[in-house]
Amino acid sequence: MNSKLILVNIVRWFVLLLFQILLLRNLSFYNMATPFVYVLFLLLLPFGIPNLLLYLIAFITGLTLDAFYDTLGVHTAACVMLAFVRISFIAVTVNRDGFDEPEPTLGNMGFKWFLFYAVLCVFSHHIVLFFLETFRLTEFSYTLLRSLTSSIFTLFVVILIEFIFYNRKAR
Amino acid sequence: MRNLWIFISRYNAFFFFIIFFSLGIFLTIKNNAYQRSVTVNSTNKVVGDVYNNLNVLKKYINLGTVNDSLAAENAKLKTTILAMQHVDTAKDVLVKDTAGVPQYTYLSARVIKNSITNRNNFITINKGKADGLAEGMPVISPGRGVVGSIKDVSEHLATIQSLLHKNTYISVSVKNTKAFGSMVWGENNFDYRKAQIKEIPNHFKLKLKDTIITSMYSKYPLGTLVGVVSNPGISQGENFKTVEVTLFNDFSSLQYVYVIKNKFAKEQEELEAKLPNEQ
């Protein structure tokens, strides 16, 4: 059971990162919205994962993305931010002692919970990402608009993937 | 002490967050401020290989366009040669060029990674230190003009800070006038086909379709093509105005580039380093 979970996550890491680097990196909607769907990997990590391990995984994932985007540190900080929001959100909404389900997928947790979870995580990730990338406050409103439109784009793809792959077994 | 320990382990998520997040911020700031010494980018061997292999397919698809641009450039070069031969027929004048070698030499390289969707874009090419590249060398594309300048070199690869980057300023001038200004990209317009020229004095009247070339103050050879004016005056201050330019270069389909080696670049740099630093 446990080793299966690890294997699934490793495969998911490779698939989502390759998807991001090879395909989505070249995709942009009028240069306003750019999707960063690889965050789905961090969203779907199992509930029982220790905090330190989660941060390390987020850090390494961000660093890998940075290497391919030539933006050292930007994705790393954004992923760590996402990990923090994820931990806080799960601590507030999910019963700490008995996790019924191993993973926070849409099929396991229901549409309403997952949407709220994904919105918070993706938006905080994108805000950090775009502001660190721009690295100046003079383009504040434009950067905010860009992160907002990109969040909507990313969320759309994330929810779509969830509906395709995970909904079946639960309902 | 024990209470402190309990406090820290109770809110460990927050403390881990502080540690990892500040590490990320530190990397970003370091990356912004200096030339990077850590090679966690696409000059890295593994990352470079991935892009190199991936590019084979893309290269094949774009073969037609690349062919056309090379043919066009060939034609242009042939015309230049003919013009030179014509001058050489005046045989009794023996020209002894004491410099003996041209000031600029060109080295062609293939683009193995390119981006246009970010705020700050980089290009990776398949030539590096072994081919004589160094930081700061200007890069142009065949027949279409300015691309950027080299940011980092490894043994066989190099990254270019593209024109589409917030720290790229290029001194440009308007052809046939003496007006010049500095060109930037991405101020409220992230279209990879458009750039802006700032600080053009108001008394110069620019027209639509005026050709923009690099000025004598840039590190590109004088007169390298840049683009045409597409909006002469998007904003006007008291003394200077800003102009929008449509670039000749199509960054989305960049395949081959020329790196320019300036024979006197080092000499000029050393000479200018001796000036008192009073700015």
- Look up the ipTM and state it: 0.76
What pLDDT is recorded for position B68?
A: 77
Angle between helices A51-69 and B45-61 (to 10 degrees): 50
Q: In terms of CA atoms, which chain B residue is nearest residue A62?
A: B24
What pLDDT is recorded for position A43?
A: 92
Structural domain for B127, as ranges:
39-89+104-262
Distance CA B13, CA B7 (A): 11
Residue A22 is encoded by which pair of tokens? 């090879």
What pLDDT is recorded for position A93?
A: 86
- Give a yes or no: residue B97 inside a domain: no
Share of chain A above pLDDT 70, in %: 92
Residue of B42, B52, B117 to mutate when probing chain A, most A C-beta within 10 A: B117
Share of chain B above pLDDT 70, in %: 85
Higher pLDDT, A45 or B232: A45
Dihedral (Cα; A59, A24, B48, A65), 10-degree rounding: -10
Number of domains in chain B: 1
Q: Provide mean pLDDT across the span A90-94.
A: 86
Check pLDDT > 90 for residue B270: no
Residue B111 is encoded by which pair of tokens? 């683009």
- Give a yes or no: residue B98 inside a domain: no
Mean pLDDT of all residues belonging to chain B: 79
Q: In terms of CA atoms, which chain B residue is nearest residue A77?
A: B24
Residue B113 is encoded by which pair of tokens? 């990674």
What pLDDT is recorded for position B85?
A: 52
What pLDDT is recorded for position A13?
A: 93
User: Domain with B48 in it: what CATH number?
Assistant: 2.40.10.340
Q: In terms of CA atoms, which chain A residue is nearest residue B41?
A: A67
What pLDDT is recorded for position B278?
A: 58
State CA B156 to chain mean position distance: 19
- CATH topology assigned to domain A2-170: Arp2/3 complex 21 kDa subunit ARPC3 (1.10.1760)
Instruction: Please state which of the ranges A3-17, A104-118, B60-74 shows the lowest mean pLDDT.
Output: B60-74
What pLDDT is recorded for position A15?
A: 93
Does A73 sit within 8 Å of B27, measured CB to CB?
yes
Residue A9 is encoded by which pair of tokens? 């996550």
| Per-range mean pLDDT, top range of A135-139, B10-14, B93-97 | B10-14
* Percent helix, strand and coil across chain B, each to the nearest 5: 30, 30, 40
Check CB contact of B45 with chain A, cutoff 8 Å.
Answer: no
Sorting pLDDT into bands at 50, 70 and 90, what band is A39? very high
Check pLDDT > 50 for residue B145: yes
What pLDDT is recorded for position B35?
A: 42
- Give a yes or no: residue B204 inside a domain: yes
Higher pLDDT, B137 or B205: B137
Q: Provide mean pLDDT across the span A64-69.
A: 89
In angstroms, the separation between the Cα of residue B4 and the nearest Cα of chain A is 19
Distance CA B53, CA B127 (A): 15
Residue of A21, A70, A88 to mutate when probing chain B, most B C-beta within 10 A: A70
Residue B161 is encoded by which pair of tokens? 């800070």
Beta-carbon contacts of B6 under 8 Å, excluding residues fewer than 6 positions away, are: none
In tens, the pLDDT along B95-135 reads 445 555 567 778 888 888 888 888 888 999 988 888 888 88
**Of B277, B252, B245, residue with least CA distance to B170:** B245
Residue among A21, A80, A136 whose CB faces B24 most closely: A80
Beta-carbon contacts of B208 under 8 Å, excluding residues fewer than 6 positions away, are: B229, B230, B231, B232
Check pLDDT > 90 for residue A1: no
Listed by start position, the domains of chain A span: 2-170
Distance CA B230, CA B272 (A): 36
* Percent helix, strand and coil across chain A, each to the nearest 5: 75, 0, 25
What pLDDT is recorded for position A153?
A: 92
Higher pLDDT, B266 or A167: B266
Residues of B in contact with A22 (CB under 8 A): 54
C-alpha radius of gyration, chain B, whole number: 23
- Give a yes or no: residue B7 inside a domain: no
Residues of A in contact with B159 (CB under 8 A): 70
- Give a yes or no: residue B32 inside a domain: no
Does B192 sit within 8 Å of A59, measured CB to CB?
no
In tens, the pLDDT along B170-215 reads 999 888 888 888 888 877 778 888 888 888 888 888 888 888 888 8
Residue among B13, B24, B115 whose CB faces A77 most closely: B24
Q: Provide mean pLDDT across the span A40-69.
A: 91
Sorting pLDDT into bands at 50, 70 and 90, what band is B43? low
Exposed, middle or buried by CB within 10 Å (0-12, 13-18, 19+), for B19?
middle
Q: How many CB pairs under 8 A join A and B?
A: 116
Does B16 sit within 8 Å of A51, measured CB to CB?
yes
Does A84 sit within 8 Å of B117, measured CB to CB?
no
- Give a yes or no: residue B4 inside a domain: no
Check CB contact of B132 with chain A, cutoff 8 Å.
Answer: no
What pLDDT is recorded for position B87?
A: 46
Check CB contact of B16 with chain A, cutoff 8 Å.
Answer: yes
Q: Provide mean pLDDT across the span B246-275.
A: 84
Q: Provide mean pLDDT across the span B232-255.
A: 82
Residue among B16, B42, B117 whose CB faces A55 most closely: B16
Distance CA A164, CA B4 (A): 47
In tens, the pLDDT along B82-92 reads 555 544 444 44
Residue of B28, B150, B167, B192 to mutate when probing chain A, most A C-beta within 10 A: B28
Q: Which residues of A fall below an 8 Å CB-CB distance to B?
A: 21-22, 25-28, 31-32, 34, 51-52, 55, 58-59, 62-63, 66-74, 76-81, 83-84, 87-88, 91, 130, 132-136, 139, 142, 146
Does B42 sit within 8 Å of A70, measured CB to CB?
yes
What's the longest Cα–Cα distance across chain A?
51
Helix (H, G, I), strand (E, B) or coil at A50: coil
